[in-house]
Amino acid sequence: MARSRFAPDRGLSFRMGLTMVVLALLYVVLIGAISYGTGAVWLGVLIGLGVLWGQWYFSDKLALSGMGAREVSPAEEPELHAMIDRLCALADMPKPRVAVADTDLPNAFAAGRSPERAVVCVTRGVQRRLDERELEAVLSHELSHVAHRDVLVMTVASVVGVLAGFLTKMLLWSGLGNNRGGNNNAAIMVLVVTVVAAVVYGVSFVLTRLLSRYRELAADRAGAILTGQPSALASALTKISGEMAQIPRKDLRAAEPYNAFFFVPALTGKIDIASLFASHPPLEKRLEQLSRISVELGRE
Annotated binding residues for Zn(2+), written as ranges, equal 141, 145, 216
Q: Quote the DSSP letter at residue 297.
A: T
Q: Catalytic: 116?
A: no
* In the chain, beta strands by DSSP E: 69-71, 97-101, 108-111, 119-123
What is the Cα–Cα distance from 40 to 232, expressed in whole angstroms? 55
Strand 97-101 vs strand 69-71: parallel, antiparallel, or unpaired? antiparallel
What is the Cα–Cα distance from 146 to 155, expressed in whole angstroms? 12
Residues at the binding site are 141, 145, 216
- Displacement of CA 76 from its chain's centroid (Å): 27
Of the residues 116, 142, 284, 288, only one is catalytic, namely 142
DSSP code per residue over 35-90: HHHHT-HHHHHHHHHHHHHHHHHHHHHHHHHHTTEEE--TTT-HHHHHHHHHHHHH
Q: Residue 71: which of 115, 111, 114 has the closest Cα? A: 111
Residues taking part in catalysis: 142
